Amino acid sequence: MLRSDVTREWVKEGVPALRRSELETACEDFSNIIDSLSNCKLYKGTLSSGVEIAVTSAIVTSAKDWSVQDEAHFRKKVLCRFSSFASDNSCNQYFCSNNINFWFQISELSKVNHKNFMNLLGHCEEDVPFTRMMVFEYAPSGTLFEHLHIKEAEHLNWTARLRIAMGLAYCLEHMMQLNPPPILRNLNSSSIYLTEDNAAKISDLEFWNVETEADWGSSEITKESSTVYKFGIILLEIISGRLPYSEDDGLLVLWARSYLSGKRPIKDMVDATLDPVPDEGINALVEVIQSCINEDPNERPTMKEVADRMMLITAIPPEEASPKLSPLWWAELQIISSEAT
């Protein structure tokens, strides 16, 4: 098992350790399931103050199952460079590696701290019953994917879409300036949640998505260029209102190629459900998309360059792209944290 001093060092000060019993009450005995991901379940919870939270919980219920599940998910030992932190006599090697993953994930998420990110509020680690949970801010208006592609969801007008795009750009710019920048393996419209006032919140709810440098290469350019590409695809999805992939049209980026190259009118690529939008703005955004999805990763702009360019196009500053202030959940979490110690 990991030494307590190591885990305390990894978890950023200010991320409370919460009790399972408190989260169980908040999530109505864990009956309020709102989504199931590949390796965890997502619950909606409400603290005693009325503040809503999102809780992700590993799907396993014992240390033995934990090791089997993680071995299947990762298919290799992860973070082997930290193996010296674990005692060979105290735990299974996979369990130790997986536990390191848990704390590494907590540490990475705690560093983001941006208004357009679904920030980590706390974590829970208990052995009886076996519990690994992360607690996040809750964005109540569903995902960007739902608003763009599901008729029952609220329709987003052009102004709302630009504000969402700018929130994403500012948040990703901030994340890419962290050292090291987090890896957002699942960045897409389904991982972007919207607040009550339709501000964007990028989420990273999957439990085990930590990747090693060997997966990406040694260059930070590789990580950022991948993020820039994904942002370009999301921006294309926001403008066109089309699915990232469909059986009829295939990949969105391939469907849009004739429009982006100028062979077909750009205005015909724009979501038909939108009121007429300024040609000048669309053309400028298309140029941003083209630069983001450049086939040569080294020719793509940085997220700062993307955000600066889009700021000139939309005239939406960071404060306008940010959500309204949420209730003071931190005081509630401090109470829970103090009770847990």
pLDDT given at position 6: 31
pLDDT given at position 219: 53
Q: Which CATH number fits the domain 144-321, given the four candidates 3.60.140.10, 3.40.640.10, 1.10.540.10, 1.10.510.10?
A: 1.10.510.10
Task: List pLDDT tens digits, range 28-57.
Answer: 999 999 888 777 889 999 988 778 899 988
Give the rounded distance of the alpha carbon of 4 from its chain centre.
28
Please state, in angstroms and as integers, the Cα–Cα distance from residue 78 to each residue in 71, 111, 133, 264, following that order. Answer: 10, 21, 20, 47
Structural domain spans, the chain: 4-138+325-340, 144-321
For a pLDDT cut of 90, what percent of the chain falls above it?
Answer: 49
Out of 11-15, 19-23, 178-182, the most confident range is 19-23
pTM over cut 0.85: no
Confidence band of 18 (pLDDT split at 50, 70, 90): confident
Task: List pLDDT tens digits, range 206-261.
Answer: 655 544 444 444 455 578 999 999 999 999 999 999 999 999 889 999 999 999 99
Higher pLDDT, 73 or 17: 17
Higher pLDDT, 259 or 5: 259
Give the mean pLDDT of 303-309: 98
Give the mean pLDDT of 297-321: 97
Helices (H), the chain: 4-10, 20-26, 63-74, 93-110, 144-149, 158-176, 213-216, 220-240, 252-255, 257-260, 279-292, 303-314, 318-321, 329-340
Q: Which CATH number fits the domain 4-138+325-340, given the four candidates 3.40.50.1950, 3.40.50.300, 3.30.1490.20, 3.30.200.20?
A: 3.30.200.20
Any idea which of 45-49, 114-118, 227-231, 306-310 has the lowest mean pLDDT? 45-49
pLDDT given at position 12: 39
